[in-house]
Amino acid sequence: MLDTIVAERPVAQDVSVPGLGGVAGADRAPVTVDDVAMFTGRLESGAPCVFEATRMAWGRKNAIRVEVNGSTGSLAFDFEDMNVLHLYDASAPATEQGFTRIYVTEADHPYVAAWWPPGHGLGYEHGFVHQVVDLVTAVADGEQPRPSFADGLTVQRVLDAVERSSQDEGRYTTTGTTGPVRHTEGES
Residues in contact with 36: Cβ distance below 8 Å, sequence separation at least 6, in sequence order = 1, 2, 3, 4, 5, 53, 54, 55, 56
Burial label for 97, CB within 10 Å (0-12, 13-18, 19+), is exposed
Task: Supply the pLDDT for residue 23.
Answer: 61
Cα end-to-end span (Å), the chain: 30
Q: What's the average model confidence in pLDDT over 57-61?
A: 84
Task: Supply the pLDDT for residue 37.
Answer: 93
* CA-wise closest residue to 161 among 45, 33, 40: 40
Q: What's the average model confidence in pLDDT over 97-102?
A: 93
For the cut 70, the answer to whether the pLDDT of residue 94 exceeds it is yes
Q: How far apart are CA 80 and CA 35, in angstroms?
A: 20
For the cut 50, the answer to whether the pLDDT of residue 182 exceeds it is no
Q: What's the average model confidence in pLDDT over 101-113?
A: 80
Domain ranges of the chain: 110-169
Q: What's the average model confidence in pLDDT over 106-123?
A: 76
Range ranked top by mean pLDDT from 18-27, 52-61, 69-78: 69-78
Q: What's the average model confidence in pLDDT over 134-147?
A: 94
Structure pTM? 0.70
Computed over every residue of the chain, the mean pLDDT equals: 83
